[in-house]
Amino acid sequence: MIEIHPLNERLSVAPQIEVADIAILVAQGFRSIINNRPDDEDPGQPGNAELEAAAAQAGLGWRHIPVLSGQFTEAQVCSFAGALDELPGPVLAYCRSGTRCCALWALQAEDSVEAVLATTRAAGYDLSMLRPWLQRNRST
């Protein structure tokens, strides 16, 4: 069973998905997927090409924005924001645990720092360590 954590009406995050999960995501109404895992991060994880092919066959939009754990760049944050703007929603973003996806969303969100942290906390992710970066990029 896929562990899905909604952040808002447009975006949910999840840990690693499998090819068999694609049909479940379609049945739940998702229209696009963002993969934030680099290939071969863990032995045995499905590769991006395999999952992208399954998503395409199911009619889902796809974007691969690989991010190393804890190593975000401005370009990756901008790519994530662009993917959210361009892909049909609702969108599911996944990585190993969902934390990177949450962080990418938080770093591009326009809400206040407190609202962003409250949203991620409600979804089960503590991103308080990002507070300094969030504060630099928006008012509280």
Segment 65-92, tens digit of pLDDT:
999 987 888 899 999 999 999 999 999 9
**E-assigned strands of 4-99?**
5-6, 11-14, 32-35, 61-64, 91-94
Across 96-112, average pLDDT: 93
d(CA 47, CA 52) in angstroms, rounded, equals: 9
Across 100-107, average pLDDT: 95
- Nearest to residue 100, comparing CAs of 133, 124, 66? 66
d(CA 2, CA 126) in angstroms, rounded, equals: 20
Torsion of CA 96, 99, 102, 107, to 10 degrees: -120
Q: For all residues of the chain together, what is the average pLDDT?
A: 93
pLDDT-above-90 percentage for the chain: 82
Q: Is 15 or 44 the better-scoring residue by pLDDT?
A: 15
Q: How confident is the model at residue 136 (pLDDT cuts 50, 70, 90)?
A: confident
Domains for the chain: give ranges and CATH numbers. 5-109 (3.90.190.10)
Question: What is the per-residue pLDDT for 140?
Answer: 44
- Exposure string (b/e) for 44-54, b if CB count within 10 Å is 16 or more? ebbebeebbeb
> DSSP string of 89-124?
SSEEEE-SSSHHHHHHHHHH--S-HHHHHHHHHHTT
Q: How confident is the model at residue 137 (pLDDT cuts 50, 70, 90)?
A: low
Model confidence, pTM: 0.94
- Which of 14-18, 40-44, 100-104, 122-126 is predicted least confidently? 40-44
